Structure 1
Amino acid sequence: MIEFRPLPDDHPDLAHSPMLRAALLTLQYAQEHGSIGLTKTKAFKRVFVHWAVEHFGWPGQSAEEMFRYNKVINEYEFPPLEVLHYLLVSLRLGRHYKGEFRLTKRGAELAQSPGHLFAELIPHFVLRIEHSSYQRFDDRPFGKWDVWMNVINVEADHGTTEAALFQAFYGEPKDWHTAGWREMGAFSCCVLQPLEWAGLLVQTSEKIDHVPVRHVFKTPLWRSALKLDTDDMLRPISVQ
């Protein structure tokens, strides 16, 4: 069972969620400017895409790096924004009207309420979206969220690695530099990355003996926002 706890608007752990931050900025931008312009294909126009790249502060996709290789960026070239756009429309927080993205009454209310927006947005994003649909890996890993999150809850409680998590679920030692890189890619992109975008996990990388290793940690938001069946299996964090 997965339960998201309600959090007050001023809860400090909400700051860990890149997707929540991006949603708040987008809703507030639309509120301040009256709307966001759309292209003929109903994507956000480049002027807003560039603004989003500069202001979202997305992990691993800094504005400096993105504009270094692309002077013009479209919505589809910034996947977090493309996914967020879909979420806001599907949750009826915004709508397309006469070539513009405009807030609904509900969207305008949640633009000023981070805790309520988190409760509306993040469970739907993590648990309801088909994450393989916007990834470079078409394959979807075998499993379901109830199992994935309850196992990660225990395995990553004091930190673990991407490869160790994969082996915990599937019993095979695979990684990005082995023959099983596609299976690792599907697992990482469809399970770990959505949890990182939601702000529940954070990943770091290093090289050990010239081999890249990805470490996975639960953020404070995981501990404050989630109630899981395996919570009683967790060991207390020791304070030195």
Structure 2
Amino acid sequence: MYGIRTLHADDPVLDSSPLVRALDFLAAKFDEFPNGIPLTKSLAFKRDLVAEAIAEIQWPDWTEQQIYHGYMRIKVADEQHFEPFWRLHQHLLDLRLVRHYKGKLLLSKTGKTLFANRFARFDRLAQYVLFEDPHRLFMRQEHGVFGSWDVWLNVMDIETTHGATGKHITDTFYGVEDEPNEFDPRTSRLHSSVLEPLIYCGLLDENRDSGRKLVERVYSKTQLWQSYLQLDEKPAMLRVVH
């Protein structure tokens, strides 16, 4: 079983979540532009706001260095270059927390209520990203990612306590393959549909120091994971004293 705990809006554990920081950034912009955040003609965030968001949010793997000096060097970033921020824009629209009106982004009535509380806005977006996003649901069904959030969360609650590679997590869920594959498609599918949403919300940390391949990356549950998720009680681990 799994559940969600309610946290105080000013709980510092929320600070570690890139999703929280992105929502904080937008909340400040809605305060700055009470009549709506100005958008481009194509209804995307303007470049100056995107540049400010990249610098302020410091989303892991989407920093100034990685966006402007990555595989495709660019001088100016549009919204789509900052993919998690673009996704957040879409999620807010899907949930009808915001709307486009006369070239601006405005909070809906529900959005205003939600954005007034730091935890409430994170909680709604996190549950949508994890459990409701139709894109992720389709990916899991289309790619045959078997399992449930009950199983994924409770197993990873144990396996990622001290860090686990993508290969270890994949093998734990789906068994060890006879011939090891450094580009295991099972890991790729699990990452895009299960691990990535957890990273997006700040519940799971992804470390690439041991390698950039998905099977090599090391995943660890964060303090927010332990504070926000209510999971099955685990048996006490025995300590062996030599």
Q: TM-score range by the shorter chain?
A: 0.7 to 0.9
State TM-score, norm by structure 1: 0.84
In structure 2, what is the equivalent of residue 82 of structure 1?
Answer: 86
Change (3 A) 1:151 1:6: same
> Is the 1:141–1:187 contact (alpha carbons within 8 Å) kept by the matching residues of 2?
yes
Mapped to 2, the partners of 1:166 and 1:25 lie a distance apart of 35
Shift in Å, 1:142: 2.7
How far is 1:162 from its partner? 1.4
After superposition, the Cα gap between the structure-2 partners of 1:218 and 1:79, relative to the gap in structure 1 and judged at 3 Å, is same
Q: 1:116 to 1:207 in 2, by over 3 A?
A: closer
Q: Is the Cα contact below 8 Å between 2:67 and 2:82 reproduced in 1?
A: no
The 10-residue stretch of structure 1 (55-64 or 27-36) with the greater mean CA deviation from structure 2: 27-36
> In structure 2, the residue corresponding to 1:85 is in which secondary structure?
helix
Q: Specify the alignment match of 2:203 in structure 1.
A: 200
Asked whether the equivalents of residues 95 and 104 of structure 1 are also in contact (C-alpha less than 8 Å), the reply is yes
Measured in 1, the distance between the counterparts of 2:235 and 2:118 equals 30
Closer/same/farther in 2, CA of residues 158 and 5 from structure 1, 3 Å limit: same
Q: Is the contact made by 2:4 and 2:229 (CA closer than 8 Å) also made in structure 1?
A: yes
Q: CA deviation at 1:219?
A: 0.5
SS at 1:88's partner residue?
helix
Once residues 31 and 45 of structure 1 are traced to their aligned partners in structure 2, the CA distance between those partners, rounded to angstroms, is: 17
Change (3 A) 1:130 1:234: farther
**Partner of residue 188, structure 1:** 191
Contact 1:42 1:99 in 2 (8 A): yes
- Structure 1 residue 2: Cα displacement: 2.5
Residue aligning to 1:6: 6
- Counterpart of 1:45? 46
**Alpha-carbon distance change, 81 to 48 in structure 1, aligned in 2, over 3 angstroms:** same
Measured in 2, the distance between the counterparts of 1:79 and 1:174 equals 36
1:215 Cα offset (Å): 1.4
Deviation per residue, 1:156-181 (Å, 9 max, x gap)? 12322211110011113499x92643
3-state DSSP of counterpart to 1:213: coil
Q: For residue 60 of structure 2, what is the aligned residue in structure 1?
A: 59
User: In angstroms, what is the RMSD of aligned CA positions?
Assistant: 2.9
Q: TM-score, normalised by structure 2?
A: 0.83
Name the structure 1 match of 2:166: 162
Unaligned residue ranges in structure 2 (runs of 5+) = none
Following superposition of structure 1 onto structure 2, how do residues 210-225 of structure 1 map, counting pairs within 5 Å? 213-225=216-228
Does residue 32 of structure 2 align to residue 36 of structure 1? no
